[in-house]
Amino acid sequence: MLLLGIDLGTSSIKVSVVDAANQNCIASAQYPEAEVEIIAVQSGWAEQSPDQWWEHVQQAILKCNAINSYDPKDIGAIGIAYQMHGLVLVDKEQDTLRNAIIWCDGRAVSIGDKAFNEIGEEDCLSHLLNSPGNFTASKLAWVKKEEPQIYERIDKILLPGDFIAMKLTGESTTTMSALSEGVFWDFKEGAISKDVMTYFGFDEALIPLVQPLFSSHGNVKESVALRLSLTPGIPVTYKAGDQLNNAFSLNVLHPGEVAATAGTSGVIYGVSDQLNYDQQSRINSFAHVNHQTPSQRGEGAGGEAARIGVLLCINGAGIFNRWVRNIMGAQHSYDGLNTDASHIAVGSDGLFMLPFGNGAERMLGNNTIGAHIHGLDFNLHTPAHLVRAAQEGVAFAFRYGLDIMRENAMEPAIIRAGKANMFLSDVFTQSFVNATGVPVELYQTDGSIGAALGAGVGAGIYKGEGEAFANRKPLKLVAPSSTKTYEPLYQQWKALLEAQMQTLESHLVLNKI
């Protein structure tokens, strides 16, 4: 049997077809080739069209089919990975009511902060494991307040992956994991949060049917199957947020295991067996793909322990690398720029960059400090310096976030990552391991392959999550080699960040006065 994996990213859609018998990817395609822009109607806002996502998903599948390396009729199940925390609103006809408010949108920060204070900080952290922040629930509250005419027409609220599954099957479902990333889930009660729903005045009827993550989320409609050359009725058997799916695709399933990715955003994602939370909500905790509620585990039954994904997110990662490339001219390939950057000395000859130009950063207290370039010398620095400094800046941001995770008892001995996105750059990878002091194990995998294997677990083809990765082997291990060189550079970078944060704080105080 073949498995189809769909990865709904911020920049594009990628799909892969995997042979379930040997876990080998036999075809992949991306659509569109050019990276999709984020719609920013106002500063700090970030939207995309769900209908455009659906069109791009179909085009990616057709493009993959056109490779002619498999018969689309042999695909037996579909899995979906998707950009997390987005808000999609549909009416009773399953038509979208507005653009999706996506993960890096900061318009609802003040709404989430107010909810955090009024529901109660301890109650939020102990039950939700997070502040409502600018997550999906707060975004929905913004729509209710600012766009009441749209809010009144909502039949269901969906995460981005729920929306794509609905377009494939005609059925609206969600998962405990998806609700936890939207900050709708009460971990202590093992149910939709009454505190959140009551505080914001949301009707629970807005929430789709909650299904196990590895299960049937509907069957592909005949009209869709005909258009995409698929077999009508095949099931969608897996839906997971992109960072949970990235961890899953790297076989990061058990306490102490850690994954990383550096796409549009940068993420370190570790697994814990405790309902842990950061007191300042700088890092966030969600239900991992293999998490079960206490009732699902069964008291005294020796079932699976809790599996909580502890997530550090840096909004400005690959998008910063892309920005540097774009200002130099899109004719430059990433490979070429990476090669040029490799000829520049560590530290970029005194050029430092802060990569925080993609909305409010959770690890910086949901502040929007912007991206900054420090030490630019017109007579010294070249385009290659800019590339290296940007990649080092992202690596230093990972170190800053990892130190927060260490404060919260997450001490990785090794980090697994797919050889994709910024981890394709030796400059970035070496900067990452030397700045953090943690070796990285690289794998040939990506989100669409992980989603395909997840579909195999959900369809019962594999007996468990571990069996889906029986044939997955690491490509190589990248170990730290010059941490003593990077440590003083990191401290300089950190001092620049803290000075910028202090400047922002002073500005906010003055404005209040």
Which CATH architecture best describes the domain 2-250+447-469? 2-Layer Sandwich (3.30)
pLDDT at 256: 93
The angle, 0 to 180 degrees and rounded to 10, between the axes of the packed helices 383-407 and 426-436 is: 40
> Token pair of 116, please?
């955090």
Alpha helices in 282-382, H assignment, sequence order: 294-297, 318-328, 334-342
C-beta separation of 292 from 142 below 8 A = no
Question: Which residues touch 426 (CB under 8 Å, ≥6 apart)?
Answer: 338, 342
Q: What φ, ψ does residue 174 adopt, rounded to 5°?
A: -145, -175
Bridge partner list, 106 = none
The strand ranges marked E within 159-298 are 173-175, 185-186, 191-192, 209-211, 236-241, 258-262, 266-272, 284-287
In angstroms, the CA 84 to CA 175 distance is 13
In angstroms, the CA 198 to CA 445 distance is 42
C-beta separation of 270 from 258 below 8 A = yes
The Cβ of residue 312 has, within 10 Å, a number of other Cβ atoms equal to 27
Domain positions in the chain are 2-250+447-469, 258-444+482-512
pLDDT at 466: 80
pLDDT at 469: 86
For residue 510, give the H/E element and its range: helix 483-512
pLDDT at 300: 38
Q: Do domains 2-250+447-469 and 258-444+482-512 have the same CATH topology?
A: yes
DSSP 251: T
Question: Which residues touch 427 (CB under 8 Å, ≥6 apart)?
Answer: 338, 341, 342, 387, 388, 391, 392
Q: Encode 318-346: b = buried (16+ Cβ within 10 Å), e = exposed.
A: bbbbbbbbeeeeeeeebeebbebbeebee
Grouping H, G, I as helix, E, B as strand and the rest as coil, residue 38 is coil
In angstroms, the CA 424 to CA 468 distance is 25
Half-sphere exposure of 513 (CA within 13 A, CB side): 6
In angstroms, the CA 417 to CA 422 distance is 10
In angstroms, the CA 319 to CA 37 distance is 11
The Cβ of residue 141 has, within 10 Å, a number of other Cβ atoms equal to 22
pLDDT at 301: 36
Note the Cα 372 to chain centre separation in Å. Answer: 24
In angstroms, the CA 195 to CA 187 distance is 12
Grouping H, G, I as helix, E, B as strand and the rest as coil, residue 415 is strand
pLDDT at 513: 44
CATH 3.30.420.40 fits 258-444+482-512, yes or no: yes
pLDDT at 297: 54
The strand ranges marked E within 172-314 are 173-175, 185-186, 191-192, 209-211, 236-241, 258-262, 266-272, 284-287, 308-314
Q: Kindly list the averaged pLDDT for each block of 10 residues, start to end, along the chain of length 513.
A: 97 96 95 92 95 98 98 98 97 98 94 96 95 96 98 98 98 97 96 98 98 97 98 98 94 94 93 89 94 63 70 94 90 92 98 95 91 97 97 98 94 95 96 98 93 97 87 92 96 97 79 59
> Token pair of 471, please?
């044939």
